[in-house]
Chain A
Amino acid sequence: MERGAVPASPPKRMPTGIGGLDDIIDGGLPRGGVTVVLGGAGAGKTIFGLQVLASGARHGEPGILVAFEERAASIVANASGLEWGPEMVRGKGVFVLDAQLSQSVEKSGEFDLVGLLAMVAAKAEQVNAKRVVFDGIDVLLGYLGDPSLVRREVFRLRDWVHDSGLSGIITAKADATDARAASDYDFLQFMADCVVTMHHRVASGTALRFLRVPKYRGAAHSTNEYPIAITSAGVEVGANTTIALEHPASGERISSGVERLDAMLSGGYHRGSSVLITGVPGTAKTSLAAIFAEAACLRGERTIYVSFDEAPDQIIRNVSSIGIQFAPLIATGTLSVHSYRGRAESPEAQVARIRALLRENQPRNLVVDPLSALAQRGREGDGEGAALQVLDLAKNAGITLVATSLLGNLLPLAEETRMNISTAADTWIHVSYVSHGGERNRALTIIKARGTGHSNQVRELVLTNEGVALADVYAAGGEVLMGTLRWEKENEARRMRSAAENSAALRERKAEVAIAETKARVEALMRDQSIQEAELEHIRAAVAVDTGHLDTEADELLQRRRADPLVTATSPDSEDEGGVKP
């Protein structure tokens, strides 16, 4: 990974080509100055030097390595095992001079570096070198013996570098944790323009490597201790405490692969964000991660799945049991599955592997399952740093990261994680087991989701052979019901609902019947009414006939009696009464 290939203007810098280093030392090592690299045996000093030379060679700055400790041939052989090694050897941009003093060399009196520097100068002129590394100067100084001679020659070396116009790196074996050895080389640090210390310590059986820049004349630099990894890419510095957080925020949402989870997250994960899924073993963390990977691949986005637990075959088989088919996605090249054994390497080396994967594949999405594997070994804090680096790596590259994290078995149900990455992650989903009624069911909660309105409700995570789904949970009497209890509750609710529906129908029917009866009664009454009305008509008609008949009879009677015409009708009441009365 090349960074800052163009040197900064006023304070001249020599980019190192060491991933992450230039960021913490203001662009590179002092150009035209002397950098002393101190470290114990196997701290990576030689690789540091070679890497700076190889990077220089790639940018038109040939370099020379003067080897005091190892034979030139063995340095070249070792370098060929590094990614840039063969090119470095072939490219004629790096020249290794063998200045090793074998055991058979006997010493008789004093010596100095005059001849050496003359020859290096000649070589530098010949190959137009811009960089020079004196590797393992401690071996040579050991032959000098006398501390005053050591100082004289070291100053001679420094002055020569300053005069030559080359940028020099001097490596020396001096364990920074060994106070006495470190003090022996105090003057090395004193005379240098820049000092880099490298050391490693072993914690829980894993070597952890660190780098520090305690001195850099005239440069703003961080003097913190940084974890480093030495891999086939060389030395990589993990700047886990990023000085400036400059991650472009994305408003784009991408699916989590679970429809209802997307709904809970107001549309899904943010593109380029980091999602942490925590939970005890068996809580379907992997399933959630896998379904995200599948959804991403089905959108045509290149996705990398890194597992620290299982081999690719196992993962493919396991996820197929919940209906996630990785094989065709791998076949088309959108998905690649990588497995690394969590315990085999230091966290830094694992981060370096992920970094290499991202560099080579340029994916849009990354799944790390589980990220907590990085913390399995070593000091607490180292793993955390490594995990944070993975977060940073993905963020800086705009890659959406879904990482799972196993929680410690000591606190199986606690919503906490050893790693503070839960703070750094943008979205934190926790899956826990809820034991109730003789069952253990999975409860999914979104603990946080930056920049997202999200549901604070607990959902039951249900795994079927068709995939992952979320179900509502019932809260009853302060308890969350899941699994069979949820099912029972759902059934009960259905029954109650149908009973209610039935009784409503019954009442409706009853009402209808009542109305019908009322109507019938109304009709009957109306019929009665019409009968009665008809009867009334009839009565009236009959009355009229009777009256008429009486009048006729009266007339006849009068006629028969030859009585006066009906005067009585108009006569006074007496006559009338007398006339009417029989």
Chain B
Amino acid sequence: MTPEEPKSPVAKVHVCLYIAGASPNSVAALANLRIALAPFSDQFVAVQIIDVLVDPQRGLRDGILITPMLVRTEPLPERRILGNLSDRVTLLSALGLAESPS
């Protein structure tokens, strides 16, 4: 790694947000994620939303039982962020998107 490392991540970040329908924390998580990722283009970040009320088997299969939960599936290692994502600093740091791209 060099100090000249580009500010945007080289690898595309894939995240998966597990929510439970329109429960307040799920609605908040969705909104907070959208706001946090707004500066990043789809080129860098891919977002998938899974509603466990609609598809509970998916949550069971993926082993995600607590919602809202954001999972960074790529790049590895997997990272998990629990909660309504109101703490944007923690969120971006966990996703490896610590600094906003210019």
Contacts and interface: CB of A to CB of B under 8 A. Distances in A.
On whether the two chains bind one another, the answer is: yes
Interface of A: 66, 97-99, 101-102, 104-116, 118-123, 140, 143
Given A101-B82, A119-B56, 19 more contacts: A97-B60, A99-B65, A105-B81, A105-B82, A107-B82, A108-B70, A108-B82, A109-B28, A110-B84, A111-B68, A112-B25, A113-B66, A114-B25, A115-B20, A115-B23, A115-B53, A115-B68, A118-B52, A119-B65
B100 interface: no
Contacts of A101: 66, 80, 82
Given A114-B23, A116-B67, A108 B56 contact: no
B26 A114 contact: yes
Interface of B: 18-21, 23-26, 28-29, 32, 52-53, 56-57, 59-60, 63, 65-70, 79-88, 90-91, 94
A98 B63 contact: yes
Contact of B86 (A105, A110, A115, A143): A110
Contacts of A104: 79-80
Contact of B81 (A97, A106, A121): A106
A115 B66 contact: yes
Contacts of B69: 111, 115
A119 B82 contact: no
Nearest to A71: B63
Contacts of A108: 70, 81-88, 90-91, 94
B65 A106 contact: no
Given A107-B90, A122-B57, A115 B52 contact: yes
Contacts of A140: 66
A107 B63 CA distance: 17
A109 B65 contact: no
16 contacts: A97-B60, A106-B94, A108-B86, A109-B28, A109-B84, A110-B25, A110-B84, A111-B67, A111-B84, A115-B59, A115-B66, A116-B67, A118-B52, A119-B52, A121-B56, A140-B66
A415 to B, nearest CB: 64
Residue of A113, A115, A118, A121 with most partner-chain B CB within 10 A = A115
A107 B93 CA distance: 12
A119 B34 CA distance: 25
Contacts of B90: 106-108
A330 B29 CA distance: 71
Nearest to B54: A118
Contacts of B24: 112
Interface of B is mostly: mixed
Contacts, number: 109
Given A97-B60, A143-B82, A109 B25 contact: yes
A101 B64 CA distance: 9
A99 B86 contact: no
A109 B67 contact: no
Given A105-B82, A106-B90, A108-B87, A115 B57 contact: no
Contacts of B20: 112, 114-115, 118
B53 A118 contact: yes
Nearest to B51: A115
A99 B56 contact: no
Contacts of A102: 80
A115 B29 CA distance: 13
A114 B59 contact: no
A137 B58 CA distance: 23
A122 B81 CA distance: 24
A124 to B, nearest CB: 10
B18 A115 contact: yes
Contacts of A114: 20-21, 23, 25-26, 53, 67
Contacts of B21: 114, 118
What are the 6 closest A-B residue pairs judged by CB atoms, nearest first?
A115-B67, A109-B86, A115-B20, A122-B56, A109-B83, A109-B84
Contacts of A113: 66
Nearest to B63: A98
A114 B53 CA distance: 9
Contacts of B32: 109
Contacts of B29: 109
A104 B69 CA distance: 13
A143 B24 CA distance: 18
Contacts of A66: 65
A314 B82 CA distance: 62
A120 B26 CA distance: 18
A118 B18 CA distance: 12
Nearest to B28: A109
Residue of B25, B56, B57, B94 with most partner-chain A CB within 10 A = B56
Contact of A106 (B28, B63, B80, B86): B80
A119 B21 CA distance: 12
